[in-house]
Chains A and B, each alone.
Chain A
Amino acid sequence: MIDHYDWAGGREAMLRFGPATGPVVVAALPLFEEANRTRAFIVTILRALAERGIAGALPDLPGQGESLLQTHAATLAGLRAGFTAACTRFDTAYAFAVRSGALLDTRAEVAGRCHLVPTTGAELARELGRLRGLHDGNNYAGNLLSPTLLAELEQAVPAAARTIRFEGDARAADLKLRGAPLWRRAEPDNDPALATLLADDIGAWVRACEA
């Protein structure tokens, strides 16, 4: 169902999945182009969690998706305020963030955080710089971004979280799964098998935290 939430800058849409009671897994999409490449995958995970009896929510953050705020007006502080406001709609919220989405749950009062292949703001800024170079220095793969946001990213790091990475990734993680980075795919795709594995893991994690 399509719900909404209010934050200091207005009202944004929020997809809801599963039961109306109990803890809610609130998902944060990666920023910019990677959001388009992972939305279907993250919705598949939230639907699978709902089948396991755990509620989920996917808020459009200020400057993302259907938000009336233009992308070039988005700031990291605003995106974080939006995610925080979405979480306050629920008595008990758990954050599930993918890639640079892990930079957005920092201020939210959540019972736990789970990050899938999190990235730092500096890593994202570097990738954005490469994209801009490919587009003659005018835009970032079609997006105009505010200097404020780019400056905020340079310092931004994810909060402590249960971290999931892929096998073959040398960085530290609580769990390593076999998988491919959908967020790099030239054409958006989905991976229902990986979504099932993640829903099993996140579902068990939430239940363990609640027990």
Chain B
Amino acid sequence: MQREGFAEVEEAVRGVLRDVLGLSAERAAAFHEDTPLFGALPELDSLAVAGVLTEIEDRLGILIEDDEVDGEMLESFGALTRFAADKALG
């Protein structure tokens, strides 16, 4: 059972990846829990990571500390969404 609001967070994260990385709507819509991100998406370099994190902060009204950013949270679409949901939904 997913937490209430999880689907909205997932759509926000999907929208951020689409807008920041310039992905087509079809490509972003196909992202699922296990879709690998950092190291697998050529568009997602370290500069783009900064843009993705800052835009997620803006859209969800959360703050992400730099020491919370690691390879694990960026490993997959599911991992990034869970990280954002933990912040946004508590």
Interface of chain A residues 129 through 146 with chain B (CB within 8 A): 129-131, 133-135, 141
A189 vs B18: C-alpha distance when bound (angstroms)? 13
Collect the chain A residues with CB atoms within 8 Å of residue B54's CB: 127, 130, 184
Q: Most A CB atoms within 10 A — which of B44, B49, B53, B66?
A: B66
Instruction: Kindly state whether residue A185 has any CB partner on chain B within 8 Å.
Output: yes
Known: A130-B66, A133-B66, A170-B61. A185 touches B20 (CB 8 A): yes
Q: What is the number of contacts between chain A and chain B, taking CB atoms within 8 Å?
A: 49
A37 vs B27: C-alpha distance when bound (angstroms)? 22
Instruction: Kindly state whether residue A180 has any CB partner on chain B within 8 Å.
Output: yes
What is the interface of chain A mostly: helix, strand, loop, or mixed? Answer: loop
Residue of B nearest to A186 (CB): B48
Residue of B nearest to A129 (CB): B66
Q: Mark B21-56, 1 if CB is under 8 A from A, else 0.
A: 110000000000000000000011111111111110
Say yes or no: B66 contacts A184, CB within 8 Å.
no
Instruction: Kindly state whether residue A168 has any CB partner on chain B within 8 Å.
Output: yes
A98 CB to closest chain B CB, in angstroms?
Answer: 15
Instruction: Kindly state whether residue A181 has any CB partner on chain B within 8 Å.
Output: yes
Say yes or no: B55 contacts A184, CB within 8 Å.
yes
Say yes or no: A130 contacts B21, CB within 8 Å.
no
Which residue numbers of B lie inside 8 Å of A, CB to CB? Answer: 18-22, 43-55, 58-59, 61, 66
Which residue numbers of A lie inside 8 Å of B, CB to CB? Answer: 127, 129-131, 133-135, 141, 168-170, 180-181, 184-187, 189
